[in-house]
Amino acid sequence: MESRRVRRYLPSLAARARGRQRTSPTRSVSEAWLPPKARGPMASESVAPVESPFPLSTLRHSVSHLMASAVEALFPGAKFGNGPAIEHGFYYDIELPEPLEERDLERLENEMRRLAKKAGAMVRSEYTREEARARLAQRNQTFKLDTLARIPPGEKITFYAHGGWEDLCEGPHIDRFDQPFAFKLQRVAGAYWMGDEANPMLQRIYGTAFWTKEDLARHLAWLEEVERRDHRHLGTELDLFSHHQEAGSGFIFWHPKLGAVRREMEKFWWDLHQTRGYMPVYTPHVSRETLFAVSGHLENYADMMYAAMKIDEMPYRVKPMNCPGHILIYKNRGRSYRELPLRWAELGTVYRYERSGVLHGMLRVRGFTQDDSHIFCTPEQLPREIAGVLELVRTLLTAFGFQFTAYLATRPAKAIGDEEIWTRAIAALREGAVQAGIALELDEGGGAFYGPKIDFKMKDALGREWQTSTVQCDFNLPERFDLTFTDKDGTKKRPIMVHRAIYGSLERFAGVLIEHYGGRFPFWLAPTQVVLIPIRESHADYCRELANALSSDGLRVACMDDSGHMNKKIKEATQDKVPFLLIAGDREVAERHVTVRQREREQQENLPFEQFRERARALQATRSLTL
RNA sequence: GCUGCUGUAGCUCAGCGGUAGAGCACUUCCUUGGUAAGGAAGAGGUCAUGGGUUCAAUCCCCAUCAGCAGCUCCA
C-alpha cells in the first residue's frame, strides 16, 4: 500500500488518519453524539478504472508534484510542505508570501498543462542525507529540511524530478507526464504544518486527478450532486430551518416544515421504544454544578461546558449530557434486582461548547437533542440488553433506508475498571450482537476509557458514511454515583449502565436525512404529504372536502384553493417536493376521482379518491420509503 | 481557536468614494385557467454591527458578530 509507505515521509498522513477516525468507530461516547463530517467513496470510483500500470493514487500523488512545480514557476520563493494523494484527490501544503485566490487556480492549471507537455519522465534519484540536505538548503526549503530530519536513519533518501523540478519524496510516481490524464484544482485552505496548531499555517491547495476526462467529469458531477443536496441549501430553499446572528452560532431554529419531520421522527422513535419496555423520563436542562462534579464532567469535560450561572448564590450549569439526571432518578430510592433491567429514554436537549470553526449547519451544533437512553442492568442481563438495543438500531436505521456497519471498540490504553470486567462486557457485546444477528467489525483499543462500545456507521444514498448510533457500557458512572441494587441474597451490588443513542442528535440526523433524501422525504416524513389543486374555483369545495378527509386520517394536507393559476400551483408544489398533487376539475368532481401527480413520475393517473386515500393511509401506516 | 474568503430586499445576486438595482418571493387589482411561472400596479434596504480615514463611506482601514472552505479540536 502506497499510503502506508508514504506515511513515514509525510507525517501529516498520520494526522489525516487521526482526523478520519473522527467519523470512525474510535469516537468516544460524547463524540458519537457530535456530528462528524461525512466522507464517502466517489461514485466514480465504483466504475471500473481505465487500464493503467499505476493506481489512481499514484497518479494523484504525481499530479501534486506537477502542481507544486507550477506553483514554483508562478510564485518563486514558495516553500513546500507535504503533498500526498488523499481519498478523492491530492493536496500540497505550501508557504507563500501572498494568499492564493481562486482565480490563481486557473492560472496554475494552465501552467500545469504547459509543464506536463514538456516534463517528460519522472526521474527518481537517491542521495545521501548530506547531499539531500544541501539540495534542499540551497533552495531554502525549510519544511522539506524538517521532513528530511524526520526520516529515520538507514532509510533511503530519494528525490523525484520532472522537467527540472525536484522534490524530496519516497514515491512511487507515474513514469511520465506526457500521457493522458485529467485533473482539476479545487480549492485553497489553510493547514498547519505537520497538523499541529502550534506550527505555522501553510496554504493547502486541493485538487483531483483521473486517468480520463470522463472519470473526472463523473467525479465533478458527483460533487455537484453533493452540493445540490447540501442540507443548508435545501434548508433555506424548502423553508426547513435557520440559524440567526441574533441567537448566536450553532443554534438551530426548526421551521414548521422540519418540525413536522421531527414529530414523525419522534413518534416513530417512541413507538419503537414503548414496545420494547422503555419508559420515558424528563430531566431539567440546568442543574447544580455539584452534580457534574460527581459525574466527573466538570473535571474532564469542562472545556465543552458552558460557564456556570449563579442561582441563589450557587453555581448551576446547563447540562452537556443527560446521564447524570437519569442517575439521580435511579438513586432516588433503593432498587431491587426484581426491577432490573430499567430502560429509560429521553429526548434530552444538551448544550456543548464547540469551537466556532467546527460548526456546520445542523451537523455540528452547540445545542442539540439526543435520543438518549440509559439501561441499568445486572452483568447477567447485559447480553440480552445489548441484543435488544442492536435490534432497535437496525430497525430504526433500516426504516430510513440506511445501510450500516457495526464496530466493536475494545479496551483503550487508558481505561478504568479491571481487566475482568472489560473482558466480560466485551463478551456481552459480542454475545448481544450474535443474538441480534449483527456482524461486528473490530476496532481494537477504540473503546472509551469507561467501557467498551459498539458504534454504527451508516451509509447514505450518495454512499457517504455517517456515525450516529452508539451503544456503550459504562463502569465509571455507577462507581462515581455509587449506584446499587439489592440482589436476591440481600447484598448490594453494582449495576452496569448502558448508554445508547440511535439518532444520536435529532439535529444531525435530520440534516443527514435532508441530504440522504435530497429534500424528497418519503411520504410519512414529508412536511406536506398531499396538495390539492382545483382547476377552477368551482372545484375548490370538492378539493377542500377531500383535504378534510385526508387531514382527518392524520395526514398533512394543503389545499391550494386561492385564486391563481393551476400551472403555477403545480410548479410551486413540485418545487416543494410534495409527494402527491391531486388535481380536480369537472371530470373528477363528477366521478369523485382525483388526478394524481406523483413526485418524480411523468405519468399521472386518474383514480377514485377513496382509492388514493387508502393508498395514502397505507403509505403512512407502513412508513414506506417508496411512493 | 487558526488561515483564507464572504456579508447589499425574505431568497439568489449586480453595483458604486457623492446615502442603491435586477429576477424570484410578498401585497392589491385584473385574469377562471386541464397539468412546471397569466397581466398590471405596489410595497420592501441604517448596504451585518461598532469605531476610524475623508468635505463626503454601502464602498477604504480596524475591531466585533455571522456564514463559507479547510486545519486543529471533539473525556
Classify domain A530-622 at the CATH topology level: Rossmann fold (3.40.50)
Q: Taking a C-beta distance cutoff of 8 angstroms, is the pair A204, A190 a contact?
A: yes
Which residue in A139, A149, A158 sits closest to A95, CA to CA? A139
Amino acid letter, residue A500: R
| Per-residue exposure over A128-144, b if at least 16 CB sit within 10 Å of its own CB, e if not | eeeebbebbeeeebbbb
CATH of segment(s) A2-229 = 3.30.980.10
H or E stretch covering A104: helix A102-119
Amino acid letter, residue A373: S
Match domain A258-517 to its CATH number in 3.40.640.10, 3.30.930.10, 3.90.226.10, 3.90.470.10.
3.30.930.10
To the nearest 10 degrees (0 to 180), the angle between helices A256-274 and A382-399 is: 140
Render pLDDT for A233-269 as a digit per residue (tens, 0 to 9): 999 999 999 999 888 899 999 999 999 999 999 999 9
Active site residue A508: no
Q: Is the dihedral of CA A331, A337, A339, A345 positive or negative?
A: positive
Looking at residue A417, its pLDDT comes to 84
Render pLDDT for A263-293 as a digit per residue (tens, 0 to 9): 999 999 999 999 999 999 999 999 999 999 9
Q: How far is the CA of A307 from the C1' of B21 (A)?
A: 46
All 3 cell numbers of residue A626?
Answer: 417508496
Render pLDDT for A126-156 as a digit per residue (tens, 0 to 9): 999 999 999 999 999 999 999 999 999 888 9
Amino acid letter, residue A68: A
Indicate which residue of A352, A516, A520, A539 is catalytic: A352
Render pLDDT for A607-622 as a digit per residue (tens, 0 to 9): 999 999 999 999 999 9
* Strand B lies under 7 A from the Cβ of residue A247: no
Window 527-586 of chain A: CB closer than 7 A to strand B: 534-538, 563-568, 570-571, 574-575, 581, 583-586
What is the mean predicted confidence (pLDDT) over A87-116? 89
Q: Which nucleotide is nearest to A189 (CA to C1')?
A: B70
Cα angle A545-A568-A588, degrees, rounded to a multiple of 5: 35
DSSP per-residue codes, A3-48: HHHHHHH-THHHHHHHHHGGGSTT--HHHHHSPPPPB---GGGGSP
3-state helix, strand, coil in chain A (%, to 5): 40, 25, 35
What is the mean predicted confidence (pLDDT) over A31-35? 32
Could you give the count of Cα atoms lying within 13 Å of A494 in the half-sphere of its Cβ? 14
All 3 cell numbers of residue A532?
Answer: 390539492
Which residue in A394, A251, A374, A280 sits closest to A324, CA to CA? A374
Dist CA A61 CA A173 (whole Å):
7
Active site residue A243: no
DSSP lists the bridge partners of residue A557 as A530
DSSP state of A352: -
Which residue in A315, A319, A309 sits closest to A352, CA to CA? A319
Window 291-320 of chain A: CB closer than 7 A to strand B: 296-297, 300-301, 304, 320
Q: Could you tell me the residue ranges of all domains in chain A?
A: 2-229, 258-517, 530-622
Amino acid letter, residue A595: T
Q: Which class for A547: exposed (0-12), middle (13-18), buried (19 or more C-beta within 10 A)?
A: buried
Q: Taking a C-beta distance cutoff of 8 angstroms, is the pair A123, A113 a contact?
A: no
Active site residue A244: no
Which bases of chain B come closer than 7 Å to a protein CB? 1-5, 7, 11-12, 25, 30-38, 48, 65-75
Looking at residue A52, its pLDDT comes to 67
Render pLDDT for A478-535 as a digit per residue (tens, 0 to 9): 999 999 999 999 999 999 999 999 999 999 999 999 999 999 999 999 999 999 999 9
Render pLDDT for A170-192 as a digit per residue (tens, 0 to 9): 889 999 898 899 999 998 889 99
